[in-house]
Amino acid sequence: MKKFTKIILSTILGFSLSFPVANEFAQNVDAKGIDGSTPFQHVQGWNRTNGHYTKRYEAENFDTHTGNVAIRKNGEKIPVTSGISENNRQAHADELKKIDLKNFIVLHNASKGKFVDFSKPVEDAGSYENTIPEGQDTVTWKVNVPKSGFYRVRFKYNNPATETAIAVNGKQLNANRNARDERNCRVTVNNSSDSLSNNGWTGWMIFNISGYNSNDAQTDSQSNNNYAEVRNNTKWNNNYMNVYFKAGKNDLTLGIQAPPGQGVYDGPNLDYFDVTYIGNDYVNASQVPNVNQNFKFQHPGIYYTIDDLKNMKVNKDDPNSIYGKGYQQLKDSPFSSADYQDNPQALIDVGPYNNPNFGGSEFTRDGIAAHFNALRWYLDGDIANAKKAIEIVNDWSYTLKDVGHGNDAKLRFALIGPDYLSAAEILRYSYNEDPTIAQKDKWQEKDIQAFDHFIKDMLIARGGAYTSSADFYPQANGAWDALIGGFNMAAGVYLNDTDLFNTALRQFYRGDAVDETYPSMGSLPNYIYASGESQESSRDEAHAQLGLNGLAFQSDIAWNQGINIYDAYDSRLLKGVLYNATYNLGERVPSETFISDLSRGVSNDGSPFLEIVYNHYVNQTATHKDISAILQATETIARQPTSKNEAGVPVGYFDAMLLSESKATVSLKLQASARAFSRIGDKITINAKVNTNSEIKGVRWQLPSHFRSSVAVVKESDRQLVLQLIRKPKVPLKIEVSASTIKNASVKDKIYLSYSSSRH
């Protein structure tokens, strides 16, 4: 590959392998302890490295265990199994004599000379039913921390990948085996007595296949880490999870568990785990860029604005442009036809691996068809397409009555819900406002209200109350909440719901929107490590890209509302996308977790995160970072014919058309009628002078909250702010009033207001 990718990684990522590192909000100060005054360094076992306090726990020093758990020494033989059923053994006895069914591995270099062999392997893996019983094999450690808050747990483990498929005479004898030998553990905090209940369940730890480690002198090749190459390996690797510990003693429990539909036939070998306090690495809740209750949402404003739609329309007939190619993909799709026949369902119940799948496929296809038809109306002007989009969203609004308890319904809603919302944005805010459309042909108000109910009470709350937590799923791997966050943010825009929008912002920045004791790995700082590697990099590239899609969608939606979260945590999203693009182009990247080559170099669900991030940085910012690797990945991966959406339709250039932001010149100057208040009742008017060739001329006002006891907001509009002094301030008043343009959130201006009593 070209040399530029290596230069990019060294200049942008810095080859940093520590996770996480202090961001712009971190405070490198000693955290206070249990009694409010004892610093970490005064508590035995805590050491400070790179600005973080860490304590090591040897795995063999567990407090309690259940089931099959063995403490082993370096050099001891560890039994493994082929996972071949007894029937197959008997049927192929002669052939299998040549295969060592009682294989073993030997591990060395474990800390303190010992480690935990977490589970006795299952001999017969010929069926998903022949798996380790849920909750049988558990280990609990006592973890004592000086301060309540977020902690990173780094597990040092080995997964030897012993269960590869064995073929005899062309027949797979253990075809049920998980292709990547994932060894799944449920992680529970402070509930060791019932590890399968949801009480204290903080997430999954997937101990993926071990292999090379970038800190190991005998590093294996990243380009040759397929399943066969790493089976029976003896390497130690890392994996991470962020948890919440209360000050004092905590129970940390790992329990082998097979998620429904997937067998788990063996457990990992654990050497130790490090507990690191990372509470100072997060943005404070008060620093999340929440919008106020008077916030006026921009419509359309989810994945594109009115400027973007007009840009598509102007350029759609140029066959050599991304717009022309994207428009052709849209036209060629059966989902954009006004003759499309939808199939709404009364029940949606989708379980793991689509088992069961009631209504899920119909929901997917119809949501895409609604969006595609709404776009066809805007681009071509055929009212038949608009009527078809209205028919689809209405049919689902009135037909869906119940959402089952299958977990994967959450993911289905997160993936496809934005298509329904994008169709509704066009219908409600463009089609309905078109003066050439007769009233009888418009999307009627009663139907709009039914659709709002469909989104709020069926998709977001899954049949329950419309809750502030918006049904996030912090216990799942990070891609889930990253995608759910995108859906919730999109729904917040469409519904003009500031609370829902702010909930998504909090989840993006901190991951604790549901409960601070359940930190989600789907937040930006949790999903993307400081090096750019992501939480699911060691699992496969498909899941890693799904997580990046969700985080990129949220950044794009916020940007279209005049809020810049691309810069959050020192542009962490850019680092993650650059890391992923570089690896999928075939280059080496630094990895502590044995980055997986499964689905490497393949576009997964269209890989729109590449389009979003590239277009943002090339069109909307003055970044000096080299993003050419993202462009190359966009052209060679995301825009290929194999790049398809959830319905299997090619969308490579369609995504490029949809997500390419229209460039616009923007300038902003704030002008105030006065710079100081002098008496109670004084008003100061601030006008925003915006010069732009965009239709979007408004600004977002940013006001500090601490002055509100003295100064009230009398009026806040797109380009005017009126403030009034309502109480004499007790301390000197200096108010910074700033604004950013909606069209480009990086274009800002600010002025300062004060209080002067000289006229009294």
Give the residue extent of every domain in the chain: 51-281, 666-755
Residue 29: Cβ within 10 Å count: 9
pTM reported for the whole predicted model: 0.92
Q: Report CA dihedral (418, 584, 205, 72) to the nearest 10 degrees.
A: 170
Pairwise CA distance, residues 530 & 552, whole Å: 17
Per-residue tokens: 507? 């989840």
3-state helix, strand, coil in the chain (%, to 5): 35, 20, 45
Query: Which residue intervals of 26-155 are DSSP H helices?
Result: 86-91, 93-96
Q: Map residue 271 onto helix, strand or coil.
A: strand
Q: What is the pLDDT of residue 213?
A: 57
Q: Mind giving me the DSSP string for 186-216?
A: EEEES-TT-TTSSTTEEEEEEEPPP---TTS
Residue type, 522: G
Residue written as token pair 């329904």: 420
Cβ-in-10-Å burial (0-12, 13-18, 19+) of 170 comes to exposed
Q: Give dist(CA 330, CA 323) in Å, integer.
A: 10
Residue 487: the pLDDT is 96
* CA 430 – CA 434 distance, rounded (Å): 6
599 residue type, one letter: S
* CATH code at 51-281: 2.60.120.260
Q: Write down the residue that tokens 């995108």 correspond to.
A: 486
**Cα separation, 204 vs 181, whole angstroms:** 15
Would you state the pLDDT for residue 625? 76
DSSP state of 143: E
Residues of the chain with pLDDT under 70: 1-38, 82, 98-102, 163-166, 172-180, 212-221, 223, 259-261, 462-469, 622-624, 758-760
Length of the chain equals 760
Burial of 695 (0-12, 13-18, 19+ CB in 10 A): exposed
Evaluate whether 27 touches 593 at the Cβ level (below 8 Å): no
Give the ranges where 464-607 is alpha helix by DSSP (H).
Answer: 478-495, 498-509, 524-527, 541-560, 568-584
Burial (CB count <10 Å: 0-12, 13-18, 19+), residue 303: buried
Q: pLDDT tens digits for 571-605?
A: 999 999 999 999 999 998 999 899 998 899 999 87
**Distance from C-alpha of 357 to C-alpha of 305, rounded to nearest angstrom:** 34
Give me the percent of the chain exceeding a pLDDT of 70: 88
Closest listed residue to residue 322, CA positions, set 610, 553, 560: 610
CATH of domain 666-755: 2.60.40.60
What is the 8-class DSSP label of residue 498?
H
CB 180 within 8 A of CB 201: no
- Identify the pLDDT of residue 1: 46
pLDDT in tens, 475-504: 999 999 999 999 999 999 999 999 999 999
Cis peptide before 20 (omega within 30 of 0): yes
